[in-house]
A and B are shown apart, each in its own frame.
Chain A
Amino acid sequence: MSSTTTPDRRPGRTGAAPPPGSPAPGIVLAGLAKAFRTPQGPVHAVRGVEIAIEPGETVALLGPNGAGKSTTIEMLLGLTVPDSGTASVFGRTPNAAVDAGLIGAMLQTGALIREVKVRELVAMMAALYPAPLDVDEVLELTGLAEIAGHWTHKLSGGQTQRVRFAIALVSNPDLLILDEPTVAMDVEGRHAFWTTMRAFAARGKTIVFATHYLEEADEFADRVVLMAKGRVVADGPTTEIKAIVGLRTIKATLPGADLAALGRLPGVTGSDRRGDAVVLSCGDSDVAIRALLAAYPDARDIEISGAGLEQAFLQLTGDHHDDQTTTEVAR
């Protein structure tokens, strides 16, 4: 894939091996691609992903189902061998990093084995790692202390998810990878989960999590990597992604206005009606507001607002044709 489709080639983020004396390399995914054979023909799950992550960063992989997040994570973990490209974790291959106990992960799918109690399971996993966290501390942190003596096959979905998190956490990894960790959790569980994650990140750990909850990415990640159809379509701080898209909306009360005519105003990319109000999506809201007031001096109750990540997301991943990828996003 051409370099124009790879956004965010900031110096120091990607590229060759770090110069001598620089801090330990973080995580580098270079040109990762993976296709799966299916009866309907090959499915290109990941098509040339470039991501470089510094140690200590908390990065969200954000994207809809089928974006390639899980496959990317599996290659980062060494569970899937890429068709092309490489993944390296702190200067090692994924398998070597796993063997050294540097990675802890909570996979998207997976239940717990039976005939075992919660504490026994967490303690056994801790025993596999060179420098695990204290088991009781982890049970406390993950809200499992009270059910430490329960059988794993008698837990609720949310409890099971917390045990899976405890397993990832107890390994005390330098890189913690979580694939849609909060899917089966209730609101309270989610809140507790992110509180724990913040505390863990504060120890200087690197965290990569996949999510399709925009708020989670927005709220907990230093940086968002937006994926769609197997590619990275945007990569940067959440605020930066919003700025890249620059989407604003103008809402004004304008009874009886012609939507089609509004949509043709300079700076306006779309128009919609909500009762007496119209909502204009704008590429350039400054131009659009001047044009609007010139054409419709009686417009009132005017609001101009920045789009949330939700809208940025739709804009970036909406109708995304294979070749016309991300040039409008990349700088």
Chain B
Amino acid sequence: MSTFAYTRFELRRTFRNRRFLIFALGFPLVLYFITAGPNRDEANLNGSGISAPVYFMVGMAAWGTMMSMLSTGARISGERAVGWNRQLRITPLSSRSYLATKIATAYATALLALVTMYVAGAILGVRLDAGRWIEMSVLILIGLIPFAALGILIGHLLSTDSIGPAMGGGVGLLGIVSGIWFPLDKGSFLHDIGEQLPSYWLVQAGHVGIGGDGWPAHGWIVLGVWTVVLGSLAARAYRRDTGRQ
């Protein structure tokens, strides 16, 4: 009951936030039409074997969903700045409900970002089988798990002043080594780094939709390790920040 009320409250609040809507939904959308629009007939982007509208749809979806998940951190940080976490801390709302709500809200925003990019892709002529859309979406949602933890971690670690630049810069860098903005040559240094990061596999999840296979064992391991590491760091940051056991 209380978790439901709190989640509904958080969702309503989140979708009212114009800055969030602009950064997590608007930016990827605009960038997509700028990058993919002029090359919509390019069937083999930089020799990747993938058409430009599909390549950038997948990339922008990864970017938008990542930003959505990390926006949780911006919201938590803002709440801490005004002492709202302390106010919640002296209500019967449990840590479990609090964190569940934060994660559910993050996923709701990520889902919206994802659907937005799918629609944009469809507008630029992307056509896939229903099965492919679903498989791709499921893998992306799984690939976002480490980012749910990362959002909570930075929210309890960073101040409102630093979290914006940290998110923007961090996701920008992740984007480069993960092949969000442009394809990386297999075997290149950046590609090797990328393969060890969850964001790389998020982009790869998108490529499944275009005829690739699911994640290899390496991808699952990378995601699993990052989930465990970021999850325990997030739990620690949350406990230290709130004094909860």
Chain A interface residues toward B at CB < 8 A: 77-81, 98-101, 103, 105, 107, 109-116, 120, 124-125, 127-130, 167, 171
Residues of A within 8 A of B9 (CB): 116, 120, 124
**Stretch in contact with the other chain, from B31-39, B77-85, B200-208:** B77-85
* Cross-interface CB contact of A77 among B2, B14, B90, B93, cutoff 8 Å: B90
Chain B residue nearest to A116 in the complex (CB): B13
11 A-B pairs whose Cβ atoms sit less than 8 Å apart in the complex:
A81-B243, A98-B89, A101-B92, A110-B82, A110-B86, A110-B87, A113-B78, A124-B6, A127-B2, A127-B6, A128-B93
Taken together as a complex, chains A and B put the C-alpha atoms of A319 and B243 apart, in Å, by: 36
Given the known inter-chain contacts A78-B90, A113-B13, please indicate yes or no for A127 contacting B1, CB distance below 8 A. Answer: yes
B16 touches A115 (CB 8 A): yes
Rank and list the top 5 A-B pairs by shortest CB-CB distance, nearest first. Answer: A110-B83, A127-B5, A111-B82, A124-B9, A115-B16
Q: How far is the CB of B192 from chain A (nearest CB, A)?
A: 42
B127 interfacial contact with A, CB 8 Å: no
B94 interface contact, C-beta 8 A: yes
- B218-231 contact mask (Cβ, 8 Å, vs A): 1 or 0: 00000000000000
Tell me the minimal C-beta distance from B152 to chain A in angstroms. 17
Select one of A79, A109, A112, A129 contacting B91, CB under 8 A. Answer: A129
Q: How far is the CB of B72 from chain A (nearest CB, A)?
A: 14
Q: Contact: B92 with A107, CB < 8 Å?
A: no
The 0/1 profile, CB within 8 Å of A marked 1, for residues 144-174 of chain B is 0000000000000000000000000000000
Q: Are B90 and A115 in contact (CB under 8 A)?
A: no
> A110 near B84 (CB under 8 angstroms)?
yes
- Asked whether A171 and B91 contact (CB < 8 A) given A115-B17, A127-B2, the answer is yes
> Is B12 in the interface zone, CB < 8 Å from A?
yes
Given known A-B contacts A78-B90, A107-B87, A112 and B2 have beta carbons under 8 A apart:
no
Q: Which residues of B contact A78 (CB under 8 A)?
A: 90, 243
Instruction: Give Cα distance in the complex from A80 to B16, angstroms.
Output: 34
Residue of A nearest to B83 (CB): A110
Whether the Cβ atoms of A105 and B92 lie closer than 8 Å is: no
Question: In whole Å, how far is A172's beta carbon from the nearest beta carbon of chain B?
Answer: 12
CB distance from B146 to the nearest CB of A (A): 27
**Contact between B92 and A100 (Cβ–Cβ < 8 Å)?**
yes
Let me know if B92 and A130 touch, CB within 8 A. Answer: yes
> Contact: B243 with A105, CB < 8 Å?
no
A99-B94, A128-B5 given as contacts; is B12 within 8 A of A120 (CB)?
yes
State in angstroms the CA–CA spacing of A211 and B83 once bound together: 20
Give the shortest distance, in Å, between B85 (CB) and chain A (any CB): 10
Minimum Cβ distance to chain B for residue A106 (Å): 9
Apart from A98-B89, A110-B83, A110-B87, 8 more pairs, CB < 8 Å: A100-B92, A107-B83, A111-B84, A113-B78, A113-B84, A114-B17, A115-B17, A124-B9
> Are B92 and A79 within 8 A (Cβ)?
no
Complex contacts, A77 vs chain B, CB 8 Å: 90
- B93 nearest CB neighbor, chain A only: A128
| CB-defined contacts of B14 to chain A, threshold 8 Å | 115
Residues of A within 8 A of B91 (CB): 98, 101, 125, 128-129, 171
Complex: chain B residue closest to A94, CB-CB? B90
Min C-beta distance of A42 to chain B, whole Å: 19
Per the 8 Å Cβ criterion, residues 207-245 of B in contact with A are 243
Q: Using known A-B contacts A116-B9, A127-B6, determine if residue A79 contacts B89 with beta carbons closer than 8 Å.
A: yes
Whole-angstrom distance between the Cβ of A180 and the nearest chain B Cβ = 14
**Binary CB contact string for chain B from 1 to 23 against chain A (1 if under 8 A, 0 otherwise):** 11001100100111011000000
Question: Within the complex, what minimum Cβ distance (angstroms) separates B65 from chain A?
Answer: 21
Write out, one digit per residue, whether chain B residues 55-70 have a CB within 8 A of any chain A CB (1) or not (0): 0000000000000000
Q: How far is the CB of B115 from chain A (nearest CB, A)?
A: 22
